[in-house]
Structure 1
Amino acid sequence: MTGPFPRDGGRVVVGVTGSLASLAALRYAAALARRDGRALLAVLAWEPPEGEALFARMPDRAWARLWGEDARRRLEGALVDGLGGAPSDLPFEARVVRGAPAGVLCAVAGRPGDLLVLGRAPDGGRLARLRRRPVLRAVQRRAPGPVLTVPGPVLLPGEARVLRRNARTSVPEGRTGTEVRP
């Protein structure tokens, strides 16, 4: 894992959504931070589902608190899925920030020497070509420093269906989902 990225003590900032591509980016960012002796900062940006403009017309703090808690749970879940939890072998911080993802990521990774790492869904197939990746494009245009994109895993259609189905299945609290029932 060598590359033309600055090693001057900046942080490795990784955008996290919980997608397979962002989990790949999270793992790669952690490996870069370990290799270079940098701090790792995982960021999940969120906005109200209807957008800030509409929310501003009829703000509701209870809903905003609920969405913020959901974002925190998604970030914690992504850390568990991608790294097995918060890494203890390197300086680490996780942040949930309310705002447009591209703007938040560019602002957070604005220190000199910071490297921003983002996941990118794999190319291929008609649906993938139609996907525009607006956050990735906006970050690449506006980022004050280098941006590294990490491709997500390529899945067969059947594998993607199984993952979506399993994601919808919840495991009761206190269980691991691996217990065998007689």
Structure 2
Amino acid sequence: MVTRIVVGVSTSLPGLAALRYAVAEGRRRGLTAITVVRSWPDPDHGRKPPPPWAAELARASSALIDEAVSAAFGMRPARIALLNSTPRGRPGPALVDLVAADDDLIVLGSRRRRWLGSGVARHCIRLAPCPVIVVPPPPAGRFQTGDLDAELRRLTGM
């Protein structure tokens, strides 16, 4: 049984698809909250205290999460809280570090349909102690205006 969902987001189509999938999966499993993650770059890889401009990068990452939520749903989804998390570091290690137990779930999008390469998805699949769901990009043309409106109503419970 999944106790927590951690979703890595971006404003790309795969990132938005991953966010939609995570919310739908969270609702299906009866969760009340999902952790939405966007890490920010760390040139020192955590070896030194954060630089003075680190707070600005964390705020920008949180704003990007809000932008992704708005793009994916139009507003915050009903009946499930989205908790912003903006850890310091590379995305793959940041997602794996946020996993608290082997019954958690990581959800992320991938720009590729078949081969995962050496990016975030591959890192999470190899090193996460929990299941990882990689959501492929939606097929081109899938979300026409009417389809998107219906999908938004279904996901937001309106």
**Range of TM-score over shorter length:** 0.7 to 0.9
1:110 touches 1:143 (CA, 8 Å); kept in 2? no
* Residues in 2 aligned to 1:147 and 1:75: alpha-carbon distance in whole angstroms: 20
2:98 to 93, 103, 108: 108
1:143 match? 128
Shift of 1:9: 4.8
2:8 match? 15
- RMSD of aligned Cα (Å): 2.7
Q: Which runs of 5+ in 2 are unaligned?
A: 142-158
Taking every aligned residue pair, what percent have the same amino acid on both sides?
Answer: 33
1:17 touches 1:78 (CA, 8 Å); kept in 2? yes
* Residues in 2 aligned to 1:121 and 1:25: alpha-carbon distance in whole angstroms: 11
1:40 match? 34
1:117 and 2:99 are equivalent in the alignment: no
Distance 1:144 1:77, change over 3 A: same
TM-score by length of 1: 0.67
2:74 match? 84
Q: Which runs of 5+ in 1 are unaligned?
A: 1-7, 157-182
* Residues in 1 aligned to 2:92 and 2:101: alpha-carbon distance in whole angstroms: 16
1:30 and 2:15 are equivalent in the alignment: no
Shift of 1:150: 0.5
1:173 match? none
Shift of 1:60: 4.1
Shift of 1:105: 0.4
1:99 match? 89
TM-score by length of 2: 0.76
1:161 match? none
- Look at both structures and tell me which one has the larger radius of gyration over its CA atoms: 1
